[in-house]
Amino acid sequence: MNCWTAARIFMMSALICSTTAETKGEDDVCKTDDCMRLGLELSDAINASADPCDDFYDYVCKKWKNKTEIPPYLPSYGHLWLIRDEVAKKINDILSNMTAIAFQAESLNETIAMAYELCMKEDSSDPKEEIKPATKHLGGIWRS
């Protein structure tokens, strides 16, 4: 997330909080785990020792930028990249934990798990040859 995005999120959050504070009671505050986590992330990203009137960039962005290691292969980085990584890890975990009896998959899910398992096998001498039966099961033709 670039600093301008962080600044916009902070300003929107501050505006929403200030306008809803008068009209909503204590019971209307989001207290779910996700809300609490997001609130902690936002408060942790703000440099409270800086004066936003003197240096807004330092107040909103500098602490986050100093704490966050941006992977060199990414053009930008922020919450969307974090979510993408979380989803990719969850999919990887799901597929890694699914097992299918060799080329006896009956459902599409089992076939996908089998193909994934074969592709991820490190000790395979020729993964193309091993995955051909799975592609035939799907009605596909493997091109060498």
pLDDT recorded at residue 12? 61
Classify 103 in phi/psi space as left (phi over 0), alpha (psi -120 to 50) or beta.
left
Across the chain, how many H-helices and E-strands are there? 7, 0
List of residues 6+ apart from 64 with CB closer than 8 A? 1, 3, 6, 45
pLDDT recorded at residue 20? 47
pLDDT recorded at residue 104? 57
pLDDT in tens, 63-117: 878 888 887 887 777 767 777 888 888 888 877 776 645 445 567 677 677 667 7
pLDDT in tens, 1-22: 555 666 666 666 666 655 544 5
